[in-house]
Amino acid sequence: MKTKIDLVESTSGDITLYTLTNGQGASVRLSSLGAGIVSIVVPDKDGRLADVALGYADPKDYFYDGPCAGKTPGRYANRIARGKFTLDGVDYQLNINNGPNALHGGPEGFSHKIWECSMEGDTVVFTLDSPDGDEHYPGNLQARVAYTWTDENVLKIELGAVTDRKTIVNLTNHTYFNLAGEDAGSALDHLLQLNCSRYLPTDETLIPTGEMAPVAGTPMDFTQPKRLGQDIKQDFPALNYGKGYDNCWVIDGAEDGQLHTAAVLSDPTSGRVLEVITDQPAAQVYTGNWLAGSPVSKSGRSYNDYDGVAIECQGMPDAPNHDNFPSQVLNPDEDYRRVIFFAFKTK
């Protein structure tokens, strides 16, 4: 594995960029800003390399970007209703930054921080200390994200956290994929299959109602490969609320805590296939419904809506307020450990 390290100055400190290139010439580029992925270059069915991760020309543009492109949101990824939750009888009020709700850890969440970074062998490790009261979350929490890139074009993401006080945590990766290439335009012709027979209906602010509803007979059914754009314009509450898909699916069998294939995304033209494997309980699929107006991309333009799709393996949104959802509570004597694999193939 070849490793290249670059530094970019910013007003908040140096941003460290790691480029890992395997024996096939395929590469990933990682940033200490938001512990994020800024590039994934992989071959198509004819061996031609292209960058399939949406991202920006200027590494500094990842600060406070609306799309949260490629980064690690936290302390709690996704939404918490009205920013409120209760632990052991104590009520907490988080900062609000998404309509009436808290999203991705708040306006100063993990995705806007420059993380500490190092190499452990061929693995890039990012760590962040989040103090007690950070965005009004309890407990001193240390988060860790480790990336390993293999010669088989598999990117392993290990997510971890420890705390000195009972708290909540939900970490994921927020990369937007376009398997035809990051400058190829709309991703709505991609095929998506989800190992998910249920999804989480929401209110109009995208907060789960608490129900886990069957996908059968609805536009939310991706149990067989289906074009992302096939049903996206249907008159259906979930699609109307988010101007497309921005919903959480329950991964079948995930209650056993083992690895499961959550999703398979494919681009018929290039032949690229992405398999997403995780031990997380759920996957949020977001079809980039609000990408327009994003910072200038690596190709010199702002992306348009639907130019990429994010598949965010995570705990369920608003889980602290739903006893029937898997718990995202972390105690001082526990280690939060989750893993996501992005495996790139061709057919």
Return the active site residues.
174, 312
Cβ neighbours, 10 Å, residue 161: 24
**CA quadruple 237, 309, 341, 122: dihedral positive or negative?**
negative
* Rg of the chain taking only CA atoms, in angstroms: 19
Cβ neighbours, 10 Å, residue 263: 22
